[in-house]
């Protein structure tokens, strides 16, 4: 049995049997792993607040040859991101980004970058960064790291600089001219010129400058609609955390609406 230490970000925790917990977590060297934390429901000494989704921890793992699961011997908390957890919207954005980071199965040479990118965006949200802009910017970055980066130029059909009104082909994962989008295999979603420019800008920026981008409401809505449909198409199902994000985002929008109309 070998034993080693790894940085990790906790993605999912489930009770297992009478006393154990099953933990899914992201690592920089091996991507997403699942481990069993024996007696974790009783031993707070070995797992002091480390088995919480989104926590940045260090795990001490051992692996028995032939076994499917890692054994989590103990964990140390590095950062629990407490401010992020107190704000539903920041929590919603973090949950979507963490779920996507965990779903990207590779390529293995991207594991370290995927981990560092998730750690960075959790830190930005913890520090008060705007979830409305960080969510689309970092969703785009994760898609690119996983090899699913949308192709924003040239037009996928005619190969020229795409001519408005632009559209986004969900099955092909890229942009089409207005004329080329007619008769294209659907779904095909509208992509405003402003959104297209913003996404192209985001695609070309180094990671440490992504947080400076701002997505106005229309650009955010179009980008998120495209990413949501694109992920649903390629995963074959809805991402679990997306409905939570939409609920907390919708609640804020409804609150603004009520305020404008003078409702209590």
Residue 157 interacts with Zn ion (CB under 5 A): yes or no: yes
CB of 211 to Zn ion, least distance (A): 33
Distances (CA, A) of 243 to 52, 135, 156, 239, 247: 20, 14, 31, 8, 6
Interacting stretch for Zn ion, rule CB under 5 A, among 1-9, 164-172, 174-182, 203-211?
174-182
Phi then psi for 208, rounded to 5 degrees?
-75, -5
> What is d(CA 226, CA 224) in angstroms, rounded to the nearest whole number?
5
The whole-angstrom separation of Cα 213 and Cα 259 is 27
Options 134-142, 145-153, 172-180, 208-216: segment touching Zn ion (CB under 5 A): 172-180
103-118 CB burial, b ≥16 within 10 A, e <16 = ebeeeeebbeebbebb
d(CA 199, CA 140): 8
Torsion of the alpha carbons at 143, 146, 147 and 153, rounded to the nearest 10: 20
Of 107 and 164, which CB lies nearer to Zn ion in the complex structure? 164
Q: With respect to Zn ion, which residue has the nearer C-beta, 106 or 165?
A: 165
From the list 54, 177, 191, 231, which residue makes contact with Zn ion (rule: CB under 5 A)?
Answer: 177
Does 158 help bind Zn ion (rule: CB under 5 A)?
Answer: yes
Which of 112, 158 has the CB closer to Zn ion?
158
Asked if 156 is part of the footprint of Zn ion (rule: CB under 5 A), the reply reads no
Kindly tell me which residue out of 57, 91, 124, 155 binds Zn ion, with binding defined by CB under 5 A. 155
Residue 153 contacts Zn ion per CB under 5 A: no
Selected from 180, 188, 191, 239, the binder of Zn ion by CB under 5 A is 180
User: Which among 46-54, 69-77, 148-156, 252-260 is the span making contact with Zn ion, rule CB under 5 A?
Assistant: 148-156
CB neighbour list of residue 190: distance below 8 Å, 6 or more residues apart: 165, 166, 167, 168, 222
Residues that bind Zn ion (CB under 5 A): 155, 157-158, 177, 180
């Amino acid at each position: 049995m070998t034993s080693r230490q790894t940085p990790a970000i906790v993605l999912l925790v489930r009770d297992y049997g009478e006393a154990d917990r099953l933990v899914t977590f992201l690592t920089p060297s091996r991507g997403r792993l699942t481990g069993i934390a024996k007696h974790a429901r009783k031993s707070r000494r070995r797992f002091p607040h480390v088995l919480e989704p989104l926590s940045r921890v260090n795990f001490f793992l051992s692996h028995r040859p032939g076994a499917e699961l890692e054994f989590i011997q103990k964990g140390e908390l590095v950062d629990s991101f407490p401010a992020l957890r107190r704000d539903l919207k920041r929590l919603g954005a973090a949950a979507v980004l963490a779920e996507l980071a965990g779903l990207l199965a590779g390529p293995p040479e991207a594991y370290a970058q995927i981990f560092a990118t998730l750690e960075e965006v959790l830190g930005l949200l913890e520090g008060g960064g705007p979830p409305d802009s960080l969510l689309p910017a970092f969703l785009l970055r994760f898609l690119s790291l996983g090899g699913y980066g949308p192709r924003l130029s040239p037009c996928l059909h005619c190969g020229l600089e795409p001519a408005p009104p632009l559209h986004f082909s969900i099955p092909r994962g890229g942009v089409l001219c207005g004329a080329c989008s007619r008769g294209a295999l659907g779904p095909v979603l509208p992509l405003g010129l402003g959104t297209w420019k913003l996404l192209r800008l985001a695609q070309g920026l180094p990671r440490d400058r992504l947080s400076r981008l701002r997505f106005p409401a229309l650009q955010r809505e179009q980008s998120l609609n495209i990413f949501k449909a694109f992920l649903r198409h390629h995963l074959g199902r809805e991402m679990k955390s997306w409905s939570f994000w939409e609920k907390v985002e919708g609640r804020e929008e409804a609150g603004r609406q009520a305020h404008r109309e003078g409702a209590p």
